[in-house]
Chains A and B, each alone.
Chain A
Amino acid sequence: MDCGSDKVIYMDNNATTRVAPEVVDAMMPFLTDCYGNPSSMHIFGGQVGRAITEARESIAELLGAEPEEIIFTSCGTESDSTAILSGLQTFPEQRHIVTTRVEHPAVKNLCDNLDSLTGHKHRITRLQVEADGTLDLDQYRESLTEDTAIVSVMWANNETGVIFPVEEMAAMARERDILFHTDAVQAVGKIPFNLKETAIDFLSVSGHKLHAPKGVGVLYVRKGTPFIPFINGGHQEHGRRGGTENVASIVALGRACKLAGEKLEEENTRVKYLRDKLETGLLEQIPRSMLNGHKTERLPNTANISFEFVEGESILLHMDRYRICASSGSACTSGSLEPSHVLRAMGVPFTAAHGSIRFSLSVYNTEKEVDFVLEKMPAIIANLREMSPFWNKDDH
């Protein structure tokens, strides 16, 4: 099947990324010749086992962690559930969780459904965010109690790219013997990590957000942190996660992490430059547009911009005609009827929330592509505004 991916301008990398060609090369042998089960006691198993060990080392290196602190999972969501449920079982008498109002559904919906899932009543503190999407640390400090079992705060927000001070927050939790989990799915591969220097107990990674395939993730569990498995079964991952290893994808993730390490500088220089050029250009050219999220405390690749009085899905479909791929926090694109919970938590007015577009770049984007988007966007927005009953040209 030809998806025509070579013809698109892909700026939706926070949704998923293209699998890097080097990554495809690295995983292919494990989909063809090297089909052994790493648990087997023959040469086949041995080869495959070594490949997994290498992958584990590459991931540990990117995170600044030890290989034995890496558990392979099926996705970021599994990693999140595993960490939070493990933390709750570690402290069965403590029924309080601290999280934020802007978490990814992987954490948000788990917290919403904890009571029916565990059969226990939990108290959940969802930290408010400021208008620029940042957290108030005083509010966080006050939320920690003796009853708190675990804190789960994302490293960077998927919609706005805003980065939270998780290292500081983890240290504050550690002082009170509270476990700390962070969903770092959006951050890994985009900013540097050195987990050894932090007090973070659990950290979730998703393969497909950093140019590995879908269906593989990682849960980092600090050495010494109590851990109770989510999926019980065989002895794989030292009994911490049952199920035969997804070998090809694990190898792919290892290769992707190596690549991400090599490209980290490019991500924070060239990609950031492209993002800034796109963002500044759009805000300058298009009246009544605004940036959602903190200007600097942010991932280098993400720009979330609202265009007032027009609706996100309509913008996206017009962009799609020029093969520009991005996403929106509007109600219509989410399948629900309300705009993004992240933008609402930030207090973004409805006039803007419905017309928000997230551009998320990667090392595969070019300046030519950014220029093309800058050339097409003003007319798309102007045309839709022409049609909008709330837009009055003379007022703006």
Chain B
Amino acid sequence: MWEYTDKVQEHFTNPRNVGEVEGADGIGEVGSLACGDALKLSIKVDDNGIITDARFKTFGCASAIASSSALTEMVKGMSIEEAEKITNEDIANFLGGLPKEKMHCSVMGREALEAAIANYRGVILPMAEGEVVCECFGVTDLEIIRAIRESDLRSVEEITNFTKAGGGCGKCEDKLREILQQTVQGLEVEPKRAKKEQRMTTLQKIKKIEEVLEREIKPTLKKDGGDIELIDVDGDFVTVSLRGACAGCQSSRTTLKVYVEKKLRELVSDSLIVEEGK
């Protein structure tokens, strides 16, 4: 027996917005009978791009029905742009969580919403263009990569829980592992590079700080008749001297901390501390 939250049970027992919107502006259909769950979502959108009505028809288990019901409640009154940002986690959270084996039900909700929005806009979703990896459930590599990224998946089992891929004959397991490794490595490459840049020599650091002062900070201060000069760099401590109108300005400390330090942290190293030299 699954442990469903009260909210899942409540939405399953009394589902909201069952049916089809008459004269729908967007329809999204995902899943199939063979897969064991399917959802048809129809939405009505007014001239201002606001979703005024949403209805669903679902074939599936309690969590699929509850996720569909939750989705329709969530999107009603939203603009298309807002609705577009709904993730499967949002749907699961709305319901107070789903058993991990049932997360694919919330993914199905998000996919139906995307399909309905795409249909409203008259465009074709890129997901359909990916290469089918799991033939049992017709899941493409693009869908899998997206799930890995969005839900921070770290095992083949989690991929199956979220996308169903690999849950049938299991033939694609190796392929899933490969996609997982590549996607996770891809995610880790970017932060690593950023960290490498932080580990610079003092000389590099000084050059970089000078560069940022010249390019970004001085022009801004000069607009207000002020100026700034680099005095010293000792480890992470950056000593500067404010000149011109800035010198003696009551808000100079604020300028230093809120603007100069923030800018240097952002563009040079996030551990820098900026102080004013006398």
Contact = CB atoms under 8 A, between A and B. Distances in A.
A311 interface: yes
Contacts of A109: none
B57 A335 contact: no
A314 B40 CA distance: 17
Interface in A320-366: 321, 330-333, 335-339, 350-351, 354
Q: Which 7 pairs, one residue from A and one from B, show the smallest C-beta to C-beta distance?
A: A337-B167, A332-B61, A313-B61, A389-B57, A389-B40, A331-B36, A388-B59
A316 B60 CA distance: 12
Nearest to A350: B34
Interface in A71-104: none
Among A331, A387, A389, max chain B CB count under 10 A is at A389
B58 interface: yes
A317 B36 CA distance: 16
Given A354-B33, A354-B36, A389-B29, A317 B59 contact: no
Interface of A: 309-314, 317, 321, 330-333, 335-339, 350-351, 354, 386-390
B185 to A, nearest CB: 27
5 contacts: A313-B61, A314-B62, A333-B61, A339-B36, A390-B59
Among B29, B58, B60, B65, max chain A CB count under 10 A is at B60
Contacts of A337: 35-36, 136-137, 160, 164, 167-168
Nearest to A337: B167
Give chain B's interface residue range (CB within 8 Å of chain A): 20 to 34
Among A314, A350, A390, max chain B CB count under 10 A is at A314
B36 A314 contact: no
Contacts of A310: 59
Nearest to A331: B36
Nearest to B41: A389
B137 A311 contact: no
Interface stretch (B12-20, B174-182, B194-202): B12-20
Contacts of B148: none
B115 interface: no
B101 interface: yes
Contact of B33 (A317, A333, A386, A390): A390
Given A313-B61, A336-B167, A337-B137, A387 B18 contact: yes
B61 to A, nearest CB: 4
Nearest to B166: A337
B102 to A, nearest CB: 8
Contacts of B33: 309, 350-351, 354, 390
B240 to A, nearest CB: 61
A374 B106 CA distance: 34
